[in-house]
């Protein structure tokens, strides 16, 4: 091959490499969390009916406040959940039992997210800004309250180093898809079982 051939080959390889770096190949899952491999699955007993499990292990109530409805992005939108501040990598667990409806990555929104649909299909539990999913989590899989979901991160629009779980609950009709829910305030539902914990 002459010099021109080598030049074209080099340019072709360089452009191909750049395109490969820029293209999203549609992956919807983050790398699994190895910290959960030996963690016990589920709770010793399910929470009492109507109560939710606090979805971040190792975080107590003093650090949690009701931020639902607060203005965000200079008033352009309102907060649709509760932010639970926690160290990077803290275990995120299912607040309630259900079916994993969607594992989704949104670069400008919740980042690494999971949607869990309640057994009656009327609620969707939203876990956002995860660092990664638990290795046992997959779309269509069942989770019980307390089962691993992932790890606290700062993905999406959380901001670098702003490690927290955005936890939301949306009301949906049984036939509606995961992305059609209407946000409801999760704080009172989380707080309902606070005294018993």
pLDDT at 180: 86
pLDDT at 42: 40
The alpha carbons of the chain give a radius of gyration, in whole angstroms, of 20
**Pair type for strands 91-93 and 82-85:** unpaired
Q: Domain residues of the chain, as ranges?
A: 34-196
pLDDT at 110: 86
pLDDT at 33: 42
pLDDT at 8: 63
Per-residue model confidence as pLDDT tens for the chain (197 residues) = 787 766 666 676 666 555 544 444 444 444 444 444 334 434 434 455 567 899 999 887 776 888 776 666 676 767 678 889 999 999 999 999 999 999 999 887 888 999 999 999 999 999 999 999 999 999 999 999 999 999 999 887 777 887 999 999 999 988 898 888 899 998 888 887 654 44
SS3 per residue for the chain: CCHHHHHHHHHHHHHHHHHHHHCCCCCCCCCCCHHHCCCCCCCCCCCCCCCCCCCECCCCHHHCCCCCCCEEHHHCEECCCEEEECCCCCEEECCCCEEEEEEEEECCCCEEEEEEECCCCCEEEEEEEEEEECCCCCCCCEECCCCEEEEEECCHHHCCCCCEEEEEEEECCCCCCHHHCEEECCHHHHHCCHHHC
Angle at 113 between CA 96 and CA 149, to 5 degrees: 45
Return the sign of the alpha-carbon dihedral for residues 47, 118, 181, 88.
positive
The answer regarding whether domain 34-196 maps to CATH 1.10.3720.10 reads: no
């Amino acid at each position: 091959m002459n010099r021109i051939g080598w030049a074209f080959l080099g340019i072709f390889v360089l452009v191909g490499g750049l395109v490969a770096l820029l293209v999203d190949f549609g992956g919807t899952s983050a790398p699994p969390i190895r910290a959960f491999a030996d963690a016990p699955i589920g709770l010793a007993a399910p929470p009492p009916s109507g109560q939710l499990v606090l979805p971040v292990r190792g975080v107590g109530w003093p650090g949690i406040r009701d931020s639902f409805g607060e203005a965000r992005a200079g008033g352009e939108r309102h907060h649709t959940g509760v932010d639970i501040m926690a160290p990077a990598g803290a275990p995120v667990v299912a607040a309630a039992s259900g079916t994993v409806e969607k594992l989704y990555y949104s670069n400008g929104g919740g980042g690494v997210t999971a949607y869990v649909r309640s057994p009656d299909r009327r609620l969707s539990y939203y876990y956002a800004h995860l660092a990664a999913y638990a290795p046992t989590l997959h779309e269509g899989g069942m989770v019980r309250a307390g089962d691993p979901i992932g790890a606290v991160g700062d993905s999406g629009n959380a901001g670098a180093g702003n490690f927290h779980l955005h936890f939301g609950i949306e009301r949906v009709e049984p036939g509606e898809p995961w992305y059609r829910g209407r946000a409801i305030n999760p704080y009172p539902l989380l707080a309902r079982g606070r005294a018993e914990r």
